[in-house]
């Protein structure tokens, strides 16, 4: 299309617009105002005028007098208007038609104000990008660019005004470049919004670039690495993560007993003599090449808060002088294949006894060969003790062989004994000095204590074993504080002491067991000064003895030949129910039941802990087991009296009487 043709079309369109404007002005021309007296004229019948009617006559009929003659021609029209329109207007003014016979009725109507809102202009509010065609490949856009053409009524853009429409994705920045003008129909508010969006997008892009650059940090120096690795937060994170990873790596699916019978018929039909594999089953072994090799297990304990945790203390390693003398490890029995301990704690002196705190799940207590009592805390990342007692005359200065936590959650104490003959009471939160200290002596004779037990929930009465082979009972407070009774029967140091703690229909809290270097295990009652029975089936030192925590007539023993026995007094009082000797020239030093009685733990002189599962008939006592044990004890007492009568037929009463008579005579002579 040439330029001349374009100009002619534009001129025609301007003429059309001007014509439309003039017609609109004619329609909006105001009429002649009515006179004030028109409102008082009553309604009347008028004749309508035709095209040739005289307007003056019509006005006279309605009572309007003509003061001035109206112009005979209509408003002038611009020269650019069409000639046909002006000619028709002049001809209509000259012609006068007679009035028609049509009658109109005029009446007065009240005025009303009507507010007509302006027509709402709806515009397309989606923001359309106008960028340079070179910035985006038009071929990649889903819009067909050859169909996007400007309307012919808009002026032709110049070369500098690149208003070509292209597709812009959401990832692109929504903005106008310097040479781009907004499209027609887009408001100034939209343009301002686009400008703000462009600035925000640019800022966000700068921030993201700065953040990415900040993430790329320089490599840490050796000093910075060492500082981070030694920080408490890193140590805590690393230790927790290491334990979780070890558990996940070593844990395997547990095997289930498909033939387990929950009816209880199997326990009723148990044979009197069962195989070893039917009574106990080996579960696993706890051993660490670094921490337990060439060490002796000196003590074992289990947690009341977490029954799967086992605490074990070890002696010094004579083969390695650069390692700590004392080692305490916490093993987890829940994870069958995990070879490493949960926690490792060290001490300068080798640990002779250890115990979990009953009322503080994170506190571990240990007695040392030097006489100090140390405290470890699992909440810290330290392997060394967080507290330790002082070596002073008011506390222990000899090896501490036994520890026990007594009391309740709100009032509890740690009780310790040493073979120097001293018992101390401690506040776990403040271990600088003992709260109480008592010298152990029986009739002015010092007692070198090796074992100590508080029966049941007792906090005052206690039982101890000594190096002389005697057992003693006493109390901490009262008029007779100290050792009160003696139980003689062993001929060697007492190595193990255990009180009966199973509650049932019959009270057996007065019973306790002792083991000794004299190759025997003896059953005692606090009410009798002589043993009720002696179990002498071992051929060497018996190192430990433990009552079952759930069965009234079952207990466990071990000796230095690697033999351990499980006894059931209701079944047989002369021979154990189970007797097993470990291979490899192993000396068993400690034994312990789990809290539920379903497992036994054995510690040896090679630093190994062995875990065995126990048959359920030993963990689920029957209702008549307590009565059977009571009958067994009565039989023990009769046998003891018969043996005493056999050894002292008639001379004993006579001798006692003669001695009494001589003593009486001596007193009279004096």
Query: Would you call 314 exposed, middle or buried from its count of C-beta atoms within 10 A (0-12, 13-18, 19+)?
Result: buried
Measured between alpha carbons, how far is residue 95 from residues 68, 89, 90, 460, 527 in Å? 21, 11, 9, 141, 153
Determine, yes or no, domain membership for 182: yes
Same domain, 303 and 393: yes
Gap between the Cα atoms of 485 and 360, Å rounded: 34
- Quick one: pLDDT at residue 1? 61
Determine, yes or no, domain membership for 268: no
Determine, yes or no, domain membership for 446: no
Residue 139 gets which letter from DSSP?
G
Determine, yes or no, domain membership for 561: no
Domain count for the chain, please give it: 3
Gap between the Cα atoms of 223 and 207, Å rounded: 31
Q: Taking the alpha carbons of 358, 363, 364, 366 in that order, is the dihedral positive or negative?
A: negative
Determine, yes or no, domain membership for 52: yes
Same domain, 309 and 210: no
Same domain, 188 and 241: no
Instruction: Give residues with Cβ within 8 angstroms of 626, minimum separation 6.
Output: 504, 505, 506, 508, 552
Paired tokens of 66: 């003509």
Please compute, for residue 207, the number of CA atoms within 13 A of its CA located in the half-sphere on the CB side.
Answer: 6
Question: What pTM was estimated for this model as a whole?
Answer: 0.59
Same domain, 204 and 235: no
Residues of the chain with pLDDT under 50: 32-49, 68-95, 100, 128-155, 157, 159-181, 184-185, 253-256, 258-259, 261-265, 267-272, 648, 650-670
Average pLDDT, the chain: 76
Same domain, 138 and 236: no
Q: Which residues of 47-73 are buried (b: 16+ CB within 10 A; e: fewer)?
A: eebeeebeeeeeeeeeebeeeeeeeee
Gap between the Cα atoms of 245 and 257, Å rounded: 28
Residue 288 gets which letter from DSSP?
-
φ/ψ (deg, to 5) at 388: -155, 150
pLDDT in tens, 216-243: 557 888 888 888 888 888 888 888 887 7
Same domain, 144 and 237: no
- Quick one: pLDDT at residue 187? 57
Report the Cα 543 to chain-centroid distance in Å: 43
Question: Of 369, 404, 439, which marks where a domain is finished?
Answer: 439
Same domain, 357 and 250: no
The enclosing domain of 366 has a CATH number of: 2.130.10.10
Same domain, 431 and 353: yes
| Closest C-alpha to 192, from 179, 206, 174 | 174
Determine, yes or no, domain membership for 39: yes
Q: 598 by DSSP, 3-state: which?
A: coil
Determine, yes or no, domain membership for 123: yes
Gap between the Cα atoms of 213 and 236, Å rounded: 30
Question: Of 439, 466, 485, which marks where a domain is finished?
Answer: 439
8 Å CB contact between 503 and 440:
no
Question: Of 439, 458, 481, which marks where a domain is finished?
Answer: 439
8 Å CB contact between 525 and 511:
yes
Same domain, 205 and 305: no
Determine, yes or no, domain membership for 78: yes
Same domain, 253 and 185: no
Same domain, 333 and 304: yes
Full residue range of the structural domain in which residue 247 is found = 231-257
Axis-axis angle for helices 222-229, 232-250 (nearest 10): 70
Gap between the Cα atoms of 507 and 455, Å rounded: 12
Same domain, 298 and 209: no
Query: How many beta carbons lie within 10 A of that of residue 304, not counting itself?
Result: 14
């Amino acid at each position: 299309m040439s330029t001349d043709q374009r100009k002619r079309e534009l001129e025609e369109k301007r003429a059309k617009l001007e014509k439309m404007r003039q017609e609109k002005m004619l329609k909006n021309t105001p009429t002649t105002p009515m006179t004030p007296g028109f409102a008082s004229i009553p309604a009347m019948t008028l004749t309508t005028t035709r095209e040739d009617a005289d307007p003056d006559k019509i006005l006279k009929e309605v009572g309007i007098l003509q003061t001035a003659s109206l112009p005979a021609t209509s408003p002038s029209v611009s020269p650019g208007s069409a000639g046909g329109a002006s000619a028709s207007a002049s001809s209509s003014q000259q012609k006068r038609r007679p009035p028609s016979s049509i009658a109109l009725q005029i009446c007065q109507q009240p005025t009303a104000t009507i507010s007509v809102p302006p027509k709402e202009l709806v515009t397309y509010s989606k923001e359309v990008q106008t960028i340079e065609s070179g910035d985006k490949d038009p071929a990649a856009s889903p819009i067909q660019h050859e169909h996007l053409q400007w309307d012919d009524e808009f002026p032709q853009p110049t070369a500098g005004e690149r208003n070509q429409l292209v597709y812009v994705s959401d990832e692109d920045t929504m903005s106008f470049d310097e040479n781009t003008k907004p499209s027609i129909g887009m408001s100034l508010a939209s343009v301002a919004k686009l400008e703000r969006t462009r600035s925000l997008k640019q800022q966000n892009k700068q921030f993201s670039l700065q953040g990415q650059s900040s993430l790329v940090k320089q490599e840490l120096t050796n000093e910075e690495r060492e500082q981070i690795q030694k920080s408490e937060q890193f140590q805590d994170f690393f230790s927790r993560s290491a334990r979780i990873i070890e558990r996940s790596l070593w844990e395997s699916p547990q095997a289930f007993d498909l033939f387990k019978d929950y009816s209880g018929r199997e326990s009723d039909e148990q044979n009197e003599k069962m195989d070893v594999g039917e009574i106990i089953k080996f579960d696993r072994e706890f051993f660490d090449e670094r921490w337990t090799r060439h060490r002796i297990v000196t003590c074992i304990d289990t947690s009341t808060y977490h029954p799967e945790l086992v605490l074990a203390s070890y002696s010094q390693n004579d083969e390695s002088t650069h390692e700590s003398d004392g080692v305490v490890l916490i093993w987890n029995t829940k994870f069958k294949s995990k070879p490493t301990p949960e926690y490792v704690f060290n001490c300068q002196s080798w640990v002779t006894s250890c115990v979990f705190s009953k009322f503080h799940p994170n506190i571990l207590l240990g007695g040392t060969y030097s006489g100090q009592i140390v405290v470890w805390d699992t909440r810290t990342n330290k392997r060394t003790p967080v507290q330790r007692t002082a070596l002073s005359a008011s506390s222990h200065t000899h090896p501490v062989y036994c520890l026990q936590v007594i009391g309740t959650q709100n009032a509890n104490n740690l009780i310790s004994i040493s073979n120097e003959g001293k018992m101390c009471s401690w506040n776990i939160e403040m271990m600088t000095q003992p709260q109480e200290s008592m010298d152990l002596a029986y009739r002015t004779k010092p007692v070198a204590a090796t074992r100590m037990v508080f029966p049941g929930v007792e906090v005052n009465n206690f039982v101890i074993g000594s190096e002389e082979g005697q057992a003693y009972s006493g109390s901490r407070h009262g008029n007779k504080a100290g050792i009160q009774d003696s139980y003689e029967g062993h001929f060697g140091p007492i190595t193990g002491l255990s009180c009966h703690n199973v509650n049932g229909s019959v009270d057996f809290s007065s019973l306790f067991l002792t083991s000794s270097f004299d190759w025997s295990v003896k059953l005692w009652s606090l009410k009798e000064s002589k043993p009720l029975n002696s179990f002498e089936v071992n051929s060497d030192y018996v190192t430990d003895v433990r009552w079952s925590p759930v069965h009234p007539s079952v207990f466990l023993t071990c000796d230095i030949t690697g033999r351990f026995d499980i006894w059931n007094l209701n079944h047989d009082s002369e021979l154990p129910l189970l007797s097993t000797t470990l291979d490899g020239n192993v000396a068993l030093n400690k034994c312990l039941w789990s809290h539920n009685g379903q497992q036994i733990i054995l510690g040896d002189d090679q630093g190994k802990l062995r875990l065995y599962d126990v048959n359920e008939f030993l963990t689920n006592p029957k209702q008549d087991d307590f009565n059977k044990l009571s009958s067994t004890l009565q039989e023990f007492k009769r046998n003891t009296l018969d043996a005493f009568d056999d050894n002292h037929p008639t001379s004993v009463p006579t001798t006692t009487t003669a001695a009494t008579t001589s003593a009486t005579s001596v007193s009279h002579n004096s």
